[in-house]
Amino acid sequence: MRTALTTVTICAVLAGVARSAPPATPSEPMSTGGATPLVLETQEGERRAWRPIEGAVGWNAQPGPFIFKVDRRNGGSAQLVFITEDVPPGAKIDRHKHPGADEIIFLQNGRARVSVGDRVREVHAGATVFVPADTWIEVTNIGADAIHGVFVFSAPGFDDFMRAESVPDSQKITPLTKAEDAQIMKQHAHAVIYAEP
């Protein structure tokens, strides 16, 4: 009996949590019935390409594609953002933090130097990095191969910034002016803050 009562109590609590999830803003397209289950192969999802910023050098001058797997637009999740992206050899995910979301980074392969908070560590294939909200993070690929990265965020926000700084991978990629980039950064400061270069 206690097991049945506990199960009923847990279900009631979970139902209350689900009902209290923050609603999506009206401009966010979602499925009409709420979240939709998805099963995606490696290259499936919303494929986009970063727009380089004028005057950028190295990887930032020609950043690669990324894939939205699950978010408000893909599957209709009101709470999670799940993205995959490859980080080429020598490339770096610049020092930044997410004020409103925890982040989990899973490196499927390769070798990287990770700076998170006040820790710096070399990690290898299979490494998981937990980045609490408002914690500085930087990842540098120090291996010979592209790192296949998986990125999960506990709340939406950064996905809007990523869309603002990218285009669907079928469109022509035009560089962002420094003024455009500054405006996007200002508009999305609640979701991401980059350290000064």
Q: Is 178 helix (H, G, I), strand (E, B) or coil?
A: helix
Domain region containing 61: 46-194
Residue 24 covered by a domain: no
> 122-177, pLDDT tens digit by residue?
999 999 999 999 999 999 999 999 999 999 999 999 999 999 999 999 999 999 99
> 60-109, pLDDT tens digit by residue?
667 789 999 999 999 999 999 999 999 999 999 999 999 999 999 999 99
Residue 51 covered by a domain: yes
Residue 57 covered by a domain: yes
8 Å CB contact between 100 and 143 = no
- The 3 state secondary structure assigned to 36-53 is CCCCCCCCCCEEEEECCE
pTM of the model: 0.80
Residue 29 covered by a domain: no
Domain count, the chain: 1
Per DSSP (E only), the strands in the chain are: 46-50, 65-70, 81-87, 92-97, 103-107, 111-116, 119-124, 128-131, 137-141, 147-153, 166-168, 193-194
In angstroms, the Cα distances linking 129 to 68, 118, 126, 134 are 19, 13, 10, 15
Residue 32 covered by a domain: no
Look at residue 55 in the predicted model and tell me its pLDDT: 83
In angstroms, rounded to a whole number, what is the distance separating the alpha carbons of residues 36 and 69? 12
Residue 157 belongs to domain with CATH number: 2.60.120.10
